[in-house]
A and B are shown apart, each in its own frame.
Chain A
């Protein structure tokens, strides 16, 4: 678990139902909750470390990342997208409510996997802040 460099970037996969035009619903950055109790049941937000892929641009990272997610069994819908966030900006945005960590959480199937942790108690507020600092979104299936 290594903290990512603030100058680096992360991708968050966002399903088509969480977007309307260029608007990304902040719930795409919220930790999953129990439907009945509303209690947060996820320890961290799953993201992917963009610089791991050593590609020339974030756009070039999309194809290999999509392959990884599909191999893991994730549904990558035709209209879903990857939202690009800067690590430093993400920490600064969340810091309005709480300090978060953004660290690698790699596994054999997904060596670029990382997690944003530390905002279980500020789930809605931090997810709203993260939605504001999305740099760009890229189609998951070009």
Chain B
């Protein structure tokens, strides 16, 4: 049985699924039984949580949705190969990236990957009884291949999820700054973030996702602050510094934790250098109370 599927975003055909009824098939000897169904959800669906991605459900029936994914709605029966499930999962992620703008703004979080690994891949416990073929050689090959395939499946999603999360956070932040109403400053920040991200990649460094999100939220919530110098700490946290003059500055390190690091040097303070951890919500007031300026 074949199920033809095309990606709604790219229009490219996805690999076809052929379900083999016996082990005599050349390409689909290895079949796998799963209780899961694959459902492509609509991005704007109000009924479910964010669903730009293929969602793997354990329920027998899943509502199909209208919207951007309507052309690619698909529902696969209970028997399909694990390789196909993962190929579909990956293809859907790629489709989401190609769509960019609004569609891509639905962040593919690491938790989605963890869900895939913990809930879906944990079902991959092949044994001899899963083999549906009839000849002995195919059966032995099946047994030999199964452990190797499991190892591959456990390795790949973790790698994809890490990079997708960091790059997606940068993408979301840059997009948010470009779309903000505070155009001149936020465009500068967007350009700086992009350059910094490229520099980090060149130098083999990573920017913490939590730091990016905190940085973005902070600046969008504080449109009155000036354009700072933006750098990256040794531990991957974004740092912003407003320099009034030599020996007179305010700096914030966006740790990604509820408390950010405040460093300020203000003439008149005793001692002039102040270092503390402050709740991110109060950090501007704390710095201003010291006499700091964000101009």
Name A residues whose Cβ lies closer than 8 Å to a Cβ of B: 15-21, 23, 25, 27, 30, 32-33, 35, 75, 77-80, 124-125, 128, 132
Partner of B203, one of A15, A23, A125: A15
Contact B204 A23 (CB under 8 A): no
Whether A25 contacts B203 by the Cβ 8 Å rule is no
Question: When the two chains form their complex, are residues B199 and A79 in contact, meaning their CB atoms are under 8 A apart?
Answer: yes
Min CB distance B274 to A, Å, is 10
Minimum Cβ distance to chain A for residue B55 (Å): 34
Shortest CB–CB separation between residue A25 and chain B, in angstroms?
A: 4
Contact yes or no, A16 B273, CB < 8 A: no
Chain A residues, Cβ within 8 Å of B205: 15, 17
A74 to chain B, nearest CB (A): 11
Determine the interface band of chain B, counting residues with CB < 8 A from chain A: 20 to 34
Please tell me if B265 contacts chain A, counting CB pairs below 8 Å.
yes
Which residues of chain B have a CB within 8 Å of any CB of chain A? 192, 196, 199-200, 202-205, 229-235, 239, 241, 243, 246-247, 263, 265, 273, 275
- Which of A18, A33, A77, A79 is the one whose CB lies under 8 Å from B232? A18
Q: Which A residues touch B273, using CB under 8 A?
A: 124-125, 128
Q: Which residues of A contact B234 (CB under 8 A)?
A: 27, 30, 32-33
* Residues of chain B with a CB closer than 8 A to A78's CB: 202
Contacts of B230 in A (CB 8 A): 20
Nearest A residue (CB) for B232: A17
Q: Chain B contact residues: over half helix, strand or loop, or mixed?
A: mixed
Q: Known contacts A25-B239, A132-B246; is A20 also within 8 Å of B202 by CB?
A: no
Interface centre among B203, B247, B273 (most CB of A within 10 A): B203
Which of A35, A80, A128 has most B Cβ within 10 Å? A128
Complex contact A17–B200 (CB within 8 A) = yes
Asked whether B241 lies within 8 Å of A23 as measured between CB atoms, the reply is yes
Which of B199, B229, B239, B263 makes the CB contact (< 8 A) with A21?
B229
Given the contacts A20-B192, A20-B229, A75 and B235 also touching, CB distance less than 8 Å = no
Q: Please pick, from A19, A20, A124, the residue contacting B275 in the complex, using a CB distance under 8 A.
A: A124
**Least distance between A133 CB and chain B CB atoms (Å):** 11
Report the bound CA distance from A19 to B205 in whole Å: 14
Given that A23-B241, A124-B275 are contacting pairs, would A16 and B229 also be in contact in the complex, using a CB cutoff of 8 Å? no
Q: Do A27 and B202 touch (CB < 8 A)?
A: no
Chain B residue nearest in CB terms to A27: B233
**Cβ–Cβ < 8 Å partners of A25 in chain B:** 229, 231, 239, 241
Q: Does the CB pair A124–B263 fall under 8 Å?
A: yes
